[in-house]
Amino acid sequence: MRPVMQTLQRPIVYRSAIALYVIMMLGLITASVAIGNRDVRSALYLTGSPTWNTPRPYAVRALYFDAATGTRLAPDHFEIQWSAPDSPPLATAEAGPGHYLHIQLPPYERLAPEHNDDAIDALAPGAGADAATKTRDICALARRQTVPDLRDCWTIELREPPRTPSDALQQAIGPSTSRDPDQDERRPALTDEDPSSQLAIQIGPADGELVRGLPDTLWLRVLERSTGQPLRAHLDITLERGLTQAPLPTSLTTDTLGLASLPVHATTELTLKVKARPYAPTDPPTSASYTLRLPTVAAQFAVSLPRPFTVAGVPVEGSVNTILTDAPFMTDLFEGPSMIAANAFGSANGSGGFTLPTPESQNPGPLARVQVYQSFFGAGDAWDIAHLLILKDDAPETLRETTALLLNHLHTTHPDERWDAYLDLLSPPHSPSVDTAGRIAPLIAFALSRLPRDFQSPQPLLNTREEDRRELEAWKDDLQRDLYYMMIVVLLVGLLIVAYFALLGLRRLRREKALLAEIDLELDGPLTDNSDARLEDLVTLFQAFIVFATIALFGLGIILVVSYL
């Protein structure tokens, strides 16, 4: 035992112990700092619809970016797949302008059997009420050479297709969405100044809302008050209050369906006086006077379509005006709550265009909605929409039947608006006033403008940065807790080392005192008195206390600092 103690008392031993102690403490501090600074390297933000109408395509929009800096990245490969391991891709996409990723999956019913298992049978008509909806997990996979692969999944609800075109139309119309925080304080958009007149006027949209600072269109309809029959009429228009960037027409003439469109480029809320009088000199001399109060909203975008219908499989094209200069914008095609197509387009000098594919289907639509907005992460109040009909073919009879379907819905929900007069014109044998697409188009546009303004922002389906950061923080908390315990153990070991060497010093001191005592006996006289010895012991104990306290405070300080990293 004595040789071991002698070895431990060598200077090289305690110097080595101190060096190892310092290295261990520095290693723990470095590990804790490295773990504390670790962050998610890449992230994926994906939006779309949580539901999939199985006979229709399914579209999503995604953005792949550096999770630490927010810099947008273009993945080397991006695909959508089922959640099963090693599932083949359902669709792939490449990053476009702005590094946006757009994917359109084919209709669920057209996917190969190995993709969809037996889900189609469960959703088939007559499968039972409990099979009306079914959920599936679907995943996005992004690969980039410089970062680990990113794969995450979300749950999608597969919905049973509507049984009739009428059901499909009703499901495609959502609740009205407001772009004006002060909408509840608005006055009525249309005020009848002469309720006893034989003529009546309606406007579309019903609330008269216009996009501030951008070209827009207001539809007007003139009809007989008692029968609802459309009338050709002269419209005299007077601007009583408000500002426009372009002069308003002072007069319009309605067509044989009693319809006319008023181009408006408003910069403030407008108050118009509209007076209607018969077009034909042989008509009874009567007139109607209305006051129009047209509110404006800062929607930043105004979308317009060249015609309010298209044929299934034919892309829908349109134009967009915006107050933003050279700003890209998102464009979606929705059928009810389901996004069936999406893309991003650019604008120049305040205008741009878009093209979106429409589904090829035996039983399309019949109603879809184009949405335009700027922010991928949330549209806010800066958006605009346009409804359109999707026809199964380009036959004139198909156009009349689909138009009648829309008008019948409006007549059912708003019988006081007298849509039955138009339904009579469309019934076989149809009236010559609705025998061509050009003559029916204004009626469709006016009818669509009376539908609710049902904008629906694509919902966030994946936000891997937030999810991964929560998981990473939980992992770091567990690991750093273990590191703190190890630091405490190392600190205690350091205190034991100091205590050991302090005891060695005290032992050496006592041995020296014993030698001095023997010398005192031999010389018959003490070299030191007891008071000096006691004072020296107190000083030694005080020095030891300072050393222990300093080490303890140093260790606790390190733990405290590391805990905030």
Q: Enter the pTM of the model.
A: 0.78
Give the model's pLDDT for residue 515.
75
Give the model's pLDDT for residue 284.
72
Torsion angle in degrees (nearest 10) through CA of 34, 36, 41, 46: 170
**Domain membership flag for residue 169:** no
**Domain membership flag for residue 351:** yes
Of 138 and 124, the one with more pLDDT: 138
Report the DSSP pairing between strands 233-241 and 251-253. Answer: antiparallel
What secondary structure, in 3-state letters, does 182-212 show?
CHHHCCCCEEECCCCCCEEEEEECCCCCEEC
- Give the Cα separation of 453 and 562 in Å (integer): 54
26 and 53 share a domain? no
**Domain membership flag for residue 219:** yes
- Give the Cα separation of 443 and 458 in Å (integer): 30
28 and 47 share a domain? no
At 286, which CATH number? 2.60.40.1930
For residue 169, give the amino acid letter: L
Burial of residue 280 (number of CB atoms within 10 Å: 0-12, 13-18, 19+): exposed
27 and 57 share a domain? no
- Give the Cα separation of 154 and 152 in Å (integer): 7
- Judged against a pLDDT cut of 90, whether residue 307 lies above it is answered with yes
Read off the pLDDT of residues 425-456 as tens digits, 9 standing for 90 and up. Answer: 999 888 999 999 999 999 999 999 999 999 99
228 and 365 share a domain? yes
Report the DSSP pairing between strands 309-311 and 383-391. Answer: parallel
**Domain membership flag for residue 262:** yes
**Domain membership flag for residue 113:** yes
Give the model's pLDDT for residue 121.
42
120 and 60 share a domain? yes
309 and 410 share a domain? yes
The two tokens of residue 154 are 């979300």
Q: Specify which residues 191 forms β-bridges with.
A: 291
Could you give the 3-state DSSP secondary structure of residue 341? strand
H helix intervals, 112-245: 113-116, 119-123, 165-171
Give the model's pLDDT for residue 34.
63
19 and 86 share a domain? no
Give the model's pLDDT for residue 537.
61
Cα–Cα distances in angstroms (integers) from residue 51 to residues 7, 138, 149, in the given order: 77, 12, 27
306 and 391 share a domain? yes
How many CB atoms sit inside 10 A of residue 502's CB? 16
Give the model's pLDDT for residue 521.
62
Phi/psi for 192 (5° steps) reads: -85, 115
125 and 228 share a domain? no
**Domain membership flag for residue 170:** no
329 in the Ramachandran plot: left (φ > 0), alpha (ψ -120 to 50) or beta?
beta
DSSP symbol at 69: T
Confidence of residue 186 (pLDDT cuts 50, 70, 90): confident
H or E element, residue 316 = strand 316-322
At 99, which CATH number? 2.60.40.2470
341 and 317 share a domain? yes
Task: Answer with the one of 415, 449, 483 that is the final residue of a domain.
Answer: 449
H helix intervals, 353-459: 396-413, 420-426, 437-449
Confidence of residue 78 (pLDDT cuts 50, 70, 90): very high
Average of pLDDT values for 52-68?
90
**Domain membership flag for residue 443:** yes
308 and 433 share a domain? yes
**Domain membership flag for residue 166:** no
Please count the structural domains in the chain.
3
Give the domain extent around 16. 2-37+469-563
Task: Answer with the one of 390, 420, 449 that is the final residue of a domain.
Answer: 449
CA-nearest of 110, 45, 59, 44 to 337 is: 59
- Number of residues in the chain: 565
Read off the pLDDT of residues 8-22 as tens digits, 9 standing for 90 and up. Answer: 556 676 567 667 667
- Give the Cα separation of 414 and 43 in Å (integer): 48
358 and 485 share a domain? no
Decide: 139 and 83 in contact? Cβ < 8 Å: yes
- Give the Cα separation of 222 and 232 in Å (integer): 7
- Residue 181, preceding peptide bond in cis (omega within 30° of 0): no
Q: Which of 115-119, 208-212, 509-513, 538-542 has the lowest mean pLDDT?
A: 115-119
Q: Specify which residues 335 forms β-bridges with.
A: 338
